[in-house]
Amino acid sequence: MNDEMIAALGLELYEALRCGVAVQPLTARDIPILIEDAYHISQAMLRLRLERDGEVVVGKKIGVTSKPVQEMLNVHQPDFGFLTDAMEAPNGGDIPIAGNLISPRAEGEIAFRLKSDLKGPGITEADVLDATEVIMPCFEIVDSRIEDWRIKIEDTVADNASCGVYVLGDTAVDPRDLDLPTLHMTITKNGDFNSEGYGRAVQGNPLTAVAWLANTLGSFGIPFLAGEVILSGSLAPLIPVVAGDRLHLEIGGLGTCSCQFV
């Protein structure tokens, strides 16, 4: 795919984000698109957010890591994207849908905050642990700029891994004090039990997922930087949300996180 086409598709996805109108899947068009092309489209979309809107990259995310999410989306390998300062919503706060999100779904996750840089390839789980300052409970609100979530892996990678906004819990814990694969999460929606999951849902261990992302982005020359937040992937199936819904999660030993949609 040439640079002109990459720039055009990045602009199309950026405008879809800003206008709140989904577009035809890129993979349903009469154009060849590879994972590498999708990454460069995502970069083009991100550059527009930074240049036109003054957003700042504050982290990265891995998605589609657990079997339930892969089955829901019919995407059978992880994707990856970037977090900006404009994407963070306050814990316990309101998240507007109209004019902000198209078809939001919520994920309960474990977020990592780094104290030192990481750059793949060759990053191991031990390297991730050494570079992590704290972990936090987190909601990621994914949102596809692709019509009706009809995505293949190339679509979601191009669309910044279908990321919308994210919410970090107020508690931060040293991961060395916890057994991450056995951490148990429960989610309630509007006060009722919705779902549960364990840390092992993301590639067997959240550390494994974060190492995969560090190595994948490292192959494109993109490092993890000290101070960044890394979202490690959903521990349970995606939860569709509409205005009026309230979500709350608790991860044993780690804390709580909540948000509501307006």
User: In this predicted structure, what is the pLDDT of residue 68?
Assistant: 63
On the question of a cis peptide bond just before residue 175, with omega within 30 degrees of 0, the verdict is no
Query: For the chain, percent helix, then strand, then coil, each to nearest 5?
Result: 35, 30, 35
Angle, nearest 10°, between helix axes 3-19 and 35-53? 60
Q: What are the tokens at 64?
A: 């589609």
Q: Which domains does the chain have, with CATH numbers?
A: 3-261 (3.90.850.10)
- Which residue's entry shows tokens 């997922």? 209
Work out whether the CA dihedral 45, 50, 54, 60 comes out positive or negative.
Answer: positive
User: In this predicted structure, what is the pLDDT of residue 28?
Assistant: 95
Amino acid found at 251: I
CB-based burial label for 187 (10 Å; 0-12, 13-18, 19+)? buried
**147-162 pLDDT tens trace:** 999 999 899 999 999 9
**90-140 pLDDT tens trace:** 999 999 999 899 999 999 999 999 999 999 999 999 999 999 999 999 999
Chain-centroid distance of CA 247 in Å reads 17
236, 249 Cβ separation under 8 angstroms: no
Q: Give long-range contacts, CB 8 A cutoff, 24+ apart: 23-27.
A: 23/145, 23/146, 23/147, 24/146, 24/147, 25/146, 25/147, 25/150, 25/151, 25/152, 25/155, 26/146, 26/154, 26/155, 26/158, 27/151, 27/152, 27/154, 27/155
Q: What percent of the chain has pLDDT over 70?
A: 95
Bridge-partner residues for 240, per DSSP? 105
CA-to-CA distance for 104 and 149, rounded, in angstroms?
10
User: In this predicted structure, what is the pLDDT of residue 99?
Assistant: 87
Residue 220, φ and ψ in degrees, nearest 5: -100, 5
**44-100 pLDDT tens trace:** 999 999 999 999 999 999 877 666 666 766 766 778 899 999 999 999 999 999 989
Give this prediction's pTM. Answer: 0.93
What's the CA angle centered on 106, arms 170 and 110, to 5 degrees? 45
Bridge-partner residues for 59, per DSSP? 83, 229
CA-to-CA distance for 137 and 254, rounded, in angstroms?
7
Work out whether the CA dihedral 92, 260, 195, 240 comes out positive or negative.
Answer: negative
